[in-house]
Amino acid sequence: MANAPAFVCTACGARHGKWSGRCESCGEWNTIREETPLAAGPGSRSLGAARGRAIELSDLSTTETPPPRTLSGIAEFDRVLGGGLVPASALLVGGDPGIGKSTLLLQAAAHFARAGLKVIYISGEEAAAQVRMRAQRLGLEQAPVRLAAETNLRDILTTLDAERPDLVIIDSIQTMWADNVESAPGSVTQVRAAAHELTGFAKRRGLSVVLVGHVTKEGQIAGPRVVEHMVDTVLYFEGERGHPFRILRAVKNRFGPADEIGVFEMTGTGLAEVVNPSELFLSERGTPSPGSVVFAGIEGTRPVLVELQALVAPTPHSQPRRTVVGWDGGRLAMVLAVLEARCGIPFAGLDVYLNVAGGLRISEPAADLAVAAALLSAREDAALPAETVVFGEISLSGALRPAPQTENRLKEARKLGFTTAILPEGGKTGFDRGIRRTAIADLTGFVGQVFGTG
């Protein structure tokens, strides 16, 4: 009996027994498409009908040396990879259109080629001449990188089998199509099949493959989430249109720490790495003003200092506005509720605006205390001292919890000239390594000690 067609959501990859206008998994409308399943492979008999071959097992104590990593020479890129490129690995890079994914990967391809790797750049969206134009603009026209413009997966694998490169960049996976799959290019079935074939080819041949993925309007990589499980590393290239800064963030990495970031600056000649992100994010910070607080955060293994800006103003509307850029809006609502319930400081009838300067996105809970300080500073129109950093997590009871890697945060703050740190109790107090710690037990004590009210 032939396999019955399936209905798959193109936004989240959920499978449905019949077509409907709205996906029950992700809630999107008009995203369910009919999909012809892949033909059953050889050996469709039950597993008990025949025995397979035995596989060889090895011990963890074997003396086999793991393959060495290859450094690109771009320190920020190597940091996010976990220390360099691993042979026989698959990477998935996603980001908004025009954010600089192709520029970054072309620069990385040139650096890897100069480091001795045989690199092939395959574009499914641009002609080879267009890629050369970008290389000339970036000053990379002399780099020994092979170019190709193709979307047929069978032709690509045939070429790779003949060329035997060390690194292959596929730009992008949504443009690839397999002629044995009865589905349109860019569909869930095609994306899954192409990613599976390329990843398996990389593992068998010992080469590294980088897949560029489009993103949805929510910022997630388009296509089935199973693609993210196939690859070894998933990187997101983030940034705001109005800022020259770009953040390369690892959300999954089998060969290094996740949530590691690399910071780049978009210039006329391409992406330039930023060695000291803290200094860059604070470079435009002028005279301290109400609502401005410096937060000492941790991104992956790297301490990063960034300015939090808050504005609190009376609202003419019955429903006050809560606008957040670069932080979680639900977390802001929680901090406002704790300030009102535990400290008696209401924000009713006040519009609240919160912004993370520089286009950086913060997700760690240690930013709670810095956000509360920025809100109180804006509400009371009282600026904090310029040489002060703040960090700590706020619980619903109003207590302050210590943040991890306190010493690394303070070391980064001291390197940039900060002399005072406001943080929760739980560590040593007093003078230590040139920075004075003000340890506070709860949010009420913080309000009274810093702003003189309770």
Q: Residues at the annotated binding site for ATP? A: 95-102
Tokens 């109005």 appear where?
242
Q: Please report which helix (H) or strand (E) contains residue 80, including its range.
A: helix 75-81
**What distance in Å separates the CA atoms of residue 211 and residue 234, rounded to the nearest whole number?**
10
Binding-site positions read 95-102
**What distance in Å separates the CA atoms of residue 183 and residue 177, rounded to the nearest whole number?**
9
Burial of residue 185 (CB within 10 Å: 0-12, 13-18, 19+) is middle
**What distance in Å separates the CA atoms of residue 264 and residue 277, rounded to the nearest whole number?**
9
Please compute, for residue 295, the number of CA atoms within 13 A of its CA located in the half-sphere on the CB side. Answer: 34
Sign of the dihedral through C-alpha 105, 109, 111, 112: positive
CB 172 within 8 A of CB 213: yes
Of 109, 79, 145, 107, the C-alpha closest to 267 is: 107
**What distance in Å separates the CA atoms of residue 403 and residue 302, rounded to the nearest whole number?**
14
Tokens of 125: 């969206």
Cβ partners under 8 Å of residue 357, min gap 6 = 281, 284, 285, 306, 307, 308, 309
Tokens of 354: 């919160």
CB 425 within 8 A of CB 440: yes
In the three-class reduction of DSSP (H, G, I as helix; E, B as strand; rest coil), residue 187 is classed as coil
Cβ partners under 8 Å of residue 301, min gap 6 = 257, 260
Sign of the dihedral through C-alpha 74, 78, 84, 87: negative
**What distance in Å separates the CA atoms of residue 279 and residue 305, rounded to the nearest whole number?**
8
